[in-house]
Amino acid sequence: MITVPKLTIEDARIIMDAAVRKSREIAVPMDIAIVDEGGHLLLFQRLDGAKITSIQISIDKAFTAAGTRRPTHEYSKTAGPGGPAFGLHTSHQGRFSIVGGGVPIVVNGAVVGAVGCSSGTAEQDREVAETAIQVFTNQLPKNL
């Protein structure tokens, strides 16, 4: 029987703790969202000083990364102004994000969720998300 790993709330807490640590390390308070493989919110945290306008953006970045199975920064050129997929960002009632900071969580080749970070630059948001996922995947058993 083939089984697909699932992201648990305990997993999400490990990822969130790592994201909060990285956000504080780079001194950029973030809005951080963690979603399951279907893009449904599992855990959210807004650090003191994070932009209130970035709450939904972080959730949408995570939604996009989980749904497309790709990091959101990969869409910036193709879906930005003048790109062949311009307008893609208006899909899903405007929830589709083409700004860096949404990164899928991959376990044993399967996307089990995603992290979305917002409040910094696209590069800072991406760095926090990628670091949090790396901390989590480094803790997984090697036979998983």
The C-alpha atoms of residue 4 and residue 121 are separated, in whole angstroms, by: 34
The C-alpha atoms of residue 75 and residue 45 are separated, in whole angstroms, by: 25
Q: What is the mean predicted confidence (pLDDT) over 103-132? A: 97
- Residue 114 CA, chain-centre distance (Å), reads 4
Whole-prediction pTM: 0.92
User: Which tens digits make up the pLDDT trace of 24-76?
Assistant: 999 999 999 999 999 999 999 999 999 999 999 999 999 999 999 999 999 88
User: Which tens digits make up the pLDDT trace of 67-105?
Assistant: 999 999 998 888 778 877 777 777 777 788 989 999 999
pLDDT bucket at 142, cuts 50 / 70 / 90: confident
Taking alpha carbons only, the member of 134, 10, 130, 140 closest to residue 71 is 130
User: Taking a C-beta distance cutoff of 8 angstroms, is the pair 61, 116 a contact?
Assistant: yes
Look-up: residue for tokens 């650090």? Answer: 47
β pairing state of 110-118 and 31-36: antiparallel
Spell out the domain ranges in the chain: 9-138
Q: Which fold has domain 9-138?
A: Beta-Lactamase (3.30.450)
Give pLDDT, residue 120. 97
pLDDT at 144 over 70: no
Taking alpha carbons only, the member of 112, 30, 104 closest to residue 64 is 104
pLDDT at 1 over 60: no
